[in-house]
Structure 1
Amino acid sequence: MSNVDFLNVDILVTKVRTGGQQMVRADSKGGQGGGTWMNLSMFGKDAIAVCREHAAEYTAIADELEKLEAQGVTW
């Protein structure tokens, strides 16, 4: 289990105009690693659905990793 409390994660959303195009990006503040910026503009009106799909995929991966860890798998 992760020590991160995802219900209390601050989200940073930025809106940028470059070359006449508008871009909206979102990430968690203080994220680990290289960051997980997602360009929401590229998804159009389906940006929220795409975010929820990504969350479901990561949850499924985490569940599988927990199962493997319980079986003694180390990496």
Structure 2
Amino acid sequence: MDELPPYLADAGQVADAAELILMFGEEAGYEAASRADRSRGLGNTIHYCRWRQIERLVMLMTADEAVGTVH
């Protein structure tokens, strides 16, 4: 994972990411991306950005390796 860590505006984003992982398993990141695309298509920039960050968070939460500095 070479991207910057996601920006978390509130704890609800973590809950949404966890719910997507529970509901969609390995496809959770694709579901978040789909929701982001749907929001963009509707012209809802705020929800588009929110779902993109949740997509990044899902990828971080489901990564097999530690991300970032490990002490």
Query: Higher helix share goes to which structure?
Result: 2
Give 1 or 2 for the bigger CA radius of gyration. 1
Task: Quickly name the TM-score band, shorter chain normalised.
Answer: 0.3 to 0.5
Query: Higher strand share goes to which structure?
Result: 1
- TM-score for the superposition, normalised by structure 1: 0.37
Tell me: higher relative CO, structure 1 or 2? Use CA pairs within 8 A at least 6 residues apart: 2
- TM-score for the superposition, normalised by structure 2: 0.39
